[in-house]
Amino acid sequence: MKITTQVQERLICPHCRSQLHSRGEWFLCEGCGNHYPVIAGIPILIDESASAFRIHSYERPQPLSRAERAKRAARDLLPRISLNVAARRNYQKFRELLLTQSARPRVLIVGGATAGAGTSELLADQRIEFVESDVAIDERTTLVCDAQNLPFADETFDGVVIQAVLFYLPEYGRCISEIFRVLKPGGILYSESPFMEQVVGGAYDFYRFTLRGHEYQFREFEKVSSGVSGGPAMATAWSIQYLMLSFVQNAALRAAMRVFCKCTLFWMKYLDLLLANKPGAVDAAAGTYFMGRRPAEARAAEQLPTELAQPAKTRVGDYKGLIQSDVRAYR
């Protein structure tokens, strides 16, 4: 099993929320009678009555074909037009905060089938137990579940990472509520999401957030920090690439165009090392981040200070950009 016994004891049925019990190659729910398979040590905890994913579609992982290995190797050799200017620093802070909470923290990574940008040092820390969930089985998946219905008991994790996932979720608010539920009081959340970035998920790509919009989604958390994760130069390189791709439909030509753009536009991302901390970058960022803490205690609205007891729209953080003029000035 790719998850520890301690985590197995915290699993709940994604359908009825009763505790799950391990039965070798299955997890059984005695509440509703549902049973969930374990494939290659990976529990498949999908509630088919409330999810677009189907348990029967999951198969035992197969070794990558020679063609796929060659494709991935070639992709790794190409220069990239993306640069995350914040992730490494933010994950260092995330780790520091975790270790002040617990000597052996447990972290859920939502969308953890592959390692996210800037996560290498965090994932290498042997003091931290990771549960890497996803709807896909890939090199790092330890549990399959729908991010909008997390199969864990309340207050299971000291930290949660959701990097570049929210925009894939039709009902992302459910996912945020689930993250709040499975975090321990005082637990740390880290989220990244695109803003000025083109469609990457095809039919499964739904949303984009400004920095204020990103902060607003996590308004029930106490903000630790927020800002730009991908800068305006990266956003511009992406825009040029997608402009060029708009001229071609043939799959081979589109692949060639992507290679051309990577080889000619990669240098632009380095401008973000100069731009990312400037106020104007917020208005044109490729992506943003939010780090927050679940409040130690849930307080009733009547107990909140006056400024926090207002409707949610007044509790958003201050705007950090430079756009002050009428919108027509920018058309």
Q: What is the percentage of the chain residues whose pLDDT exceeds 90?
A: 82
Residue 262 backbone dihedrals phi, psi, to 5 degrees: -60, -40
Least confident of 74-83, 107-116, 178-187, 305-314: 305-314
Q: What is the pLDDT of residue 72?
A: 81
Average pLDDT over residues 261-270: 97
pLDDT exceeds cutoff 80 at 186 = yes
* Phi/psi at 193 (5° precision): -155, 145
Count of CB atoms within 10 A of residue 156's CB?
Answer: 22
The answer to whether 294 and 184 are in contact (CB under 8 A) is yes
What pLDDT was estimated at residue 309? 38
* pLDDT higher than threshold 90 for residue 303: no
- Tell me how far apart the alpha carbons of residues 237 and 198 are, in angstroms, rounded to a whole number: 11
Categorize the per-residue pLDDT at 61 as very low, low, confident or very high, splitting at 50, 70 and 90.
confident
pLDDT value at position 74? Answer: 83
Closest CA to 97 of 122, 115, 124: 122
Task: Give the residue among 288, 281, 275, 283 at the shortest CA–CA distance from 323.
Answer: 283
The mean per-residue pLDDT over the stretch 190-206 comes to 95
Q: What is the pLDDT of residue 304?
A: 39
CB of 195 closer than 8 Å to CB of 167: no
3-state SS assignment for residue 26: strand
Helix (H) or strand (E) holding 215: helix 211-217
